[in-house]
Amino acid sequence: MKILIVEDNFRLRENLIKFFKISNIVAEEAVNGQEALQKTGQTEYDCIILDINMPVMDWKEFLKSLRAQKVDTPVLALTSNSMLDDKVELFNIWADDYLTKPFELEELLVRVKALFRRRSEIIEDKINVKDIEIDILHHKVYKDWKAISLTNKEYLIIEYLSINRWIPKNKTDLLEKVWWEQEETLDLSSVTLEAHISVVRKKLWKDLIKTIKWVGYVIE
């Protein structure tokens, strides 16, 4: 597994490289977006760790340029800003996950590995979770090769959690993703979400979506 760390802070960059080396992950470095784009044009990485506060090229320009080059490497953004608007904007500009500073190195490692596994399992618009197949292209879910009848909301829940497999998502994340077309999604009762998840569990299997107390939901 090879990753690229885009970070202008020398001490943090070196600490991350040493940590990943101990974890048997090859980590290369870039001090700004321009250098990172040069490296991604020459080398294929399994994940890019990107500090959004970097010189020379801002993170928006970098991510747009990266995707314009048809590089689909997962990007995990490091940000010191925990505001929801910035996180939403990150995802709209094609970042795959984020972590707010300060963070624990072990959590960063878990998220990097999750992005790697998720990318490895998504083949031709299909995701496989044990005996369940999610057909993203046709919005269909199969269990033991049999199509399962799901409402649109139920499907969106299972798709979102499957695409973000191993990455816990809180209720706010799910409400915004699944009920995005409704205004004031944050005012929706969490009971609504819990009811839909309960139905999905019954239709597929009860342990598919795990509840993490005080955190949210995850598919492992």
Average pLDDT, the chain: 83
CATH number of the domain located at residue range(s) 126-218 in this protein: 1.10.10.10
57-114 pLDDT, tens digit each: 888 888 888 888 878 888 998 887 655 455 666 665 567 888 888 888 999 999 898 8
12-68 pLDDT, tens digit each: 999 999 999 999 899 999 999 999 999 998 888 989 999 988 888 888 888 888 888
Q: Where are the domains of the chain?
A: 2-121, 126-218
CATH number of the domain located at residue range(s) 2-121 in this protein: 3.40.50.2300
Average pLDDT over residues 202-212: 89
Cα(166)–Cα(1) distance, rounded to whole angstroms?
Answer: 18
Check pLDDT > 60 for residue 123: no
This prediction's pTM: 0.56
Domains 2-121 and 126-218 share a fold: no
